[in-house]
């Protein structure tokens, strides 16, 4: 029997790898097997298409290409120019953005590019004006000292980590918390929702240079029109990190006030997660910041990864197809079904439900920490990650929550009925797990874990992962 193109490609690749280091080939095969057999509910993970995966394994990996399209520091980049231009074109068309920069290696890199682009654009020190210095790479230590004073110590107002924000939005141990004099806005203690009046009050008091919106674990929509009005009222640059929900924007599930691109001065994102592309980052902006953003390399980034930019071009082309909009809507439908199934079974959810792709369970109602719940679920074939909840008594390491998301299972074709069955499996494990002698240790009957793991595997039987890929 002849093999299809996908099976031939991946089998051949593993044979070549095995000839050099068989343990790597074995690990690659084992990873596919593990992903096929487990319920992957990590909200930041997905399954890239075979075309996207294959676009990363080629000769573009061998090429240095510092600079931008047509302005490289290395010769022979004409083919890199082609794939970078294609990725940027697809991004602009997909999101309705004036400019797209597709070089960032990750979401953190994309945020750093945005931060420095904003700072460079805001250079207002008389000394710097006199020197006519406009590029970040040209600034001396004395220049930066003067700039920080001029800009009020580079102030940032972002969503707090325990309220659902990301560590790059000013978390102290992160570089963003060291670059900026930072404050956080949280959520209403009673509802878990953003209180826009409180955000506005914090902005008036703090007068940030940058107001950041976006989240890593907030299960609701954000009104970006209101956030832009708040930013404008204090003269702040409005930045949105849409890494988690970019696929919902691309699929036109989030529109109007809930689409960040028309409202933000600058938007950052990853290209995986709900966008279903390769691991990487991207920056979208208007023409006023485009020149500064395009200096991301060498301002912040090292050499671009042309093979990943090629994969971004493929994934963004896929996201422009009509069926991606259907996929994005099913992500949200499945998340709501999962939330409803958990709520009916007595689970306590942060904000009481979801409007997007993720659900945040407060597991203190089960007498567990997030770390205990995460591991117990993993033992049972359900892959999640622990996450802080608002005002979390257990902190950011042990946590009191479990974050679950539906992009990956939706990619496999699971629907709302399967989400209810998944809720039952999660509830079963959490109700049968008891806290151990520390915040990390727990007790779960191995027989029950095996039973749930078998049920999870059975649930996935009719939804094969990469059905066109047969490794033999």
Residue 255: pLDDT band by 50, 70, 90 thresholds?
A: very high
- Give pLDDT, residue 127: 44
DSSP 170: T
- Give pLDDT, residue 210: 93
Most confident of 20-24, 122-126, 128-132: 20-24
> Average pLDDT of 398-427?
97
Residue 131: pLDDT band by 50, 70, 90 thresholds?
A: very low
270 assigned to active site: yes
Nearest CA-CA partner of 285 in 133, 67, 104: 104
279 assigned to active site: yes
> Average pLDDT of 138-158?
69
379 assigned to active site: no
Q: Which of 36, 64, 92, 416 is catalytic?
A: 64
Q: Which of 40, 155, 273, 336 is catalytic?
A: 273
pLDDT in tens, 318-354: 999 999 999 999 999 999 999 999 999 999 999 999 9
5 versus 154: the higher-pLDDT residue is 5
Q: Which of 121, 162, 241, 259 is catalytic?
A: 241
Nearest CA-CA partner of 65 in 52, 74, 56, 78: 74
Three-state secondary-structure class, residue 374:
helix
Asked if residue 158 lies in contact with residue 139, where contact means CB atoms within 8 angstroms, the answer is: no
Nearest CA-CA partner of 147 in 160, 163, 162, 133: 133
pLDDT in tens, 165-215: 887 877 777 777 777 888 899 999 999 999 999 999 999 999 999 999 999
150 assigned to active site: no
> Average pLDDT of 37-65?
95
201 assigned to active site: no
Which has the minimum average pLDDT: 119-128, 353-362, 444-453?
119-128
Domains and CATH numbers, the chain: 59-156+192-319 (3.40.640.10), 323-460 (3.90.1150.10)
276 versus 133: the higher-pLDDT residue is 276
- Give pLDDT, residue 165: 83
- Print the SS3 string covering 48-75: CCHHHHHHCCCHHHHCCCCEECCEECCC
Which has the minimum average pLDDT: 40-44, 116-120, 147-151, 251-255?
147-151
- Give pLDDT, residue 138: 64
């Amino acid at each position: 029997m002849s093999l299809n193109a996908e099976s031939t490609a991946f089998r051949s690749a593993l044979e070549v790898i095995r000839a050099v280091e068989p343990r790597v080939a074995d690990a690659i095969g084992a990873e596919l097997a593990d992903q096929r057999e487990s319920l992957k509910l990590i909200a930041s993970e997905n399954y890239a298409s075979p075309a996207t995966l294959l676009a990363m394994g080629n000769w573009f990996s061998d090429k240095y290409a510092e600079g931008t399209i047509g302005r490289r520091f290395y010769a022979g980049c004409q083919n890199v120019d082609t794939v970078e231009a294609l990725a940027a074109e697809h991004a602009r068309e997909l999101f309705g953005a004036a400019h797209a920069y597709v070089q960032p290696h990750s979401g953190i890199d994309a945020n750093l590019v945005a931060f420095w682009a904003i700072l460079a654009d805001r250079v207002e020190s008389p000394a710097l004006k006199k020197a006519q210095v406009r590029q970040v790479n040209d600034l001396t230590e004395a220049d930066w000292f003067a700039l920080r004073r001029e800009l009020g110590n580079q102030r940032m107002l972002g969503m707090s980590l325990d309220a659902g924000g990301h560590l790059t939005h000013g978390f102290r141990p992160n570089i963003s918390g060291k670059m900026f004099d930072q404050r956080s806005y949280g959520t209403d203690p009673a509802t878990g929702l953003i209180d826009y009046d409180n955000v506005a009050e914090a902005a008036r008091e703090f007068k940030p240079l940058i107001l950041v919106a976006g989240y890593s674990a907030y299960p609701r929509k954000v009104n970006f029109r209101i956030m832009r009005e708040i930013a404008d009222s204090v003269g702040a640059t409005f930045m949105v990190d849409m890494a988690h929900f970019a696929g919902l924007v691309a699929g036109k599930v989030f529109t109007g006030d809930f689409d960040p691109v028309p409202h933000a001065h600058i938007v950052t994102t990853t290209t995986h997660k709900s966008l279903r592309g390769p691991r990487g980052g991207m920056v979208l902006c208007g023409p006023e910041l485009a020149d500064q953003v395009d200096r991301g390399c060498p301002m912040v980034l090292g050499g671009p990864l042309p093979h990943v930019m090629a994969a971004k071009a493929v994934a963004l082309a896929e996201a422009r197809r009509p069926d991606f909009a259907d996929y994005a809507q099913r992500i949200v439908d499945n998340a709501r079904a999962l939330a409803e199934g958990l709520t009916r079974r007595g689970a306590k959810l942060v904000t009481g439900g979801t409007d997007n792709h993720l659900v945040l369970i407060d597991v203190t109602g089960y007498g567990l920490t997030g770390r205990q719940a995460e591991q117990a679920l993993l033992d049972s074939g359900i892959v999640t990650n622990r996450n802080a909840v608002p005002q979390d008594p257990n902190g950011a390491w042990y946590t009191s929550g479990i974050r679950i998301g539906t992009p990956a299972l939706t990619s496999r074709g699971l629907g709302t009925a399967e989400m209810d069955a998944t809720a039952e499996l999660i509830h079963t494990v959490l109700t049968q797990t008891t806290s151990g002698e520390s915040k990390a240790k727990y007790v779960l009957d191995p027989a029950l874990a095996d039973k749930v793991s078998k049920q999870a595997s059975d649930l996935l039987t009719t939804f094969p992962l990469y059905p066109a890929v047969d490794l033999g």
